[in-house]
């Protein structure tokens, strides 16, 4: 195939991705300004960036742009038609054996994950922590000291940790997509500048886990 054609196709893909990101940010700015209402009024509106043909990006946009609620749940199950995460039996068994208080979700994304499964173990060795294990893992690697405002949400089983911003369990459009971003960093290289030294993994953790 002609290299010029490949190059042009690659440029179109990048341009399309930038266009969608711009649309997402425009919706977020309008939401911050209260254009779609607040409280119950806002919960009656579903924001998403349509992609044709539909693919997993639609789901990522919808999760990042909307608070949890019946409208989002219905869209995810009836329109997106993507598989949902099932409870992980190993993580569920671990949770059942814990008696000490559980950790609160560090952000909206982890709250959504924990409503479906208290952590997750993948065949490649990846572990996503549950409310029974996330506090101990962060204390072990002194995450609060080395990367304040970030939290270890898992590891790859090979000396690297998955990190997200600890933004609290309240949807806030002003946090933008940054609050959904996941980075992979060596445990020995934790720093407050995770977004600069880390390897970007995904902006839609739940969708990434389903695909993995």
- On whether both 42 and 107 belong to a single domain, the answer is no
Domain boundary among 49, 79, 109: 79
Q: What local confidence, expressed as pLDDT, does residue 5 receive?
A: 57
d(CA 87, CA 152): 21
- On whether both 109 and 144 belong to a single domain, the answer is yes
Q: Nearest-CA neighbor of 121 among 95, 143, 148? A: 95
Residue pLDDT tens, the chain, 212 long: 555 555 777 777 778 778 888 998 999 999 999 999 988 888 899 998 876 655 667 788 888 999 888 888 888 877 655 667 889 999 999 999 998 899 999 999 999 999 999 999 999 999 999 999 999 999 999 999 999 999 999 999 999 999 999 999 888 898 877 889 999 999 999 999 999 999 999 999 998 998 87
- Which residues, including other chains, have CB under 8 Å from residue 41's CB and lie 6 or more apart? none
- On whether both 56 and 125 belong to a single domain, the answer is no
d(CA 207, CA 204): 5
CATH of residue 114's domain is 3.40.1580
Q: What local confidence, expressed as pLDDT, does residue 53 receive?
A: 58
Q: What local confidence, expressed as pLDDT, does residue 19 receive?
A: 81
CB atoms within 10 A of CB 195: 15
Q: What local confidence, expressed as pLDDT, does residue 58 receive?
A: 79
Q: What local confidence, expressed as pLDDT, does residue 52 receive?
A: 66
Domain boundary among 23, 45, 79: 79
- On whether both 110 and 161 belong to a single domain, the answer is yes
Give the number of domains in the chain. 2
- On whether both 75 and 129 belong to a single domain, the answer is no
164 alpha carbon, distance to own chain's centre: 8
CB atoms within 10 A of CB 5: 9
d(CA 31, CA 38): 9
- On whether both 187 and 112 belong to a single domain, the answer is yes
Would you say the pTM of this structure is higher than 0.75? Answer: yes
Q: What local confidence, expressed as pLDDT, does residue 43 receive?
A: 87
d(CA 192, CA 10): 33
Q: Nearest-CA neighbor of 109 among 53, 75, 154, 43? A: 154
Q: Order of strands, edge to edge, in the sheet holding 199-202?
A: 120-121, 127-128, 150-155, 160-165, 182-186, 199-202
Range of the domain at 55: 3-79
- On whether both 144 and 173 belong to a single domain, the answer is yes
């Amino acid at each position: 195939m002609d290299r010029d054609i490949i190059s042009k196709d690659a440029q179109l893909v990048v341009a399309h991705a930038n266009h969608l990101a711009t649309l997402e940010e425009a919706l977020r700015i309008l939401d911050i300004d209260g254009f779609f209402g607040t409280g119950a009024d806002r919960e009656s509106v579903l924001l998403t960036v349509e992609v044709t043909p539909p693919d997993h990006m639609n789901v990522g946009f919808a999760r990042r742009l909307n608070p949890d609620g019946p409208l989002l749940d219905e869209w995810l199950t009836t329109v997106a038609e993507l598989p949902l995460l099932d409870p992980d039996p190993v993580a569920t068994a671990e949770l059942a054996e814990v008696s000490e208080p559980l950790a609160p979700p560090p952000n909206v994304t982890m709250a959504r994950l924990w409503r479906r499964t208290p952590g997750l173990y993948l065949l490649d060795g990846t572990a996503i922590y549950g409310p029974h294990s996330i506090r101990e893992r962060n204390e072990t690697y002194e995450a609060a000291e080395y990367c304040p405002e970030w939290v270890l949400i898992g590891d790859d089983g090979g000396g690297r940790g998955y990190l997200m911003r600890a933004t609290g369990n309240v949807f806030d459009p002003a946090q933008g997509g940054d609050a959904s971003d996941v980075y992979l960093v060596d445990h020995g290289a934790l720093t407050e500048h995770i977004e600069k030294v880390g390897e970007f993994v995904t902006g839609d953790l739940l969708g990434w886990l389903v695909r993995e």
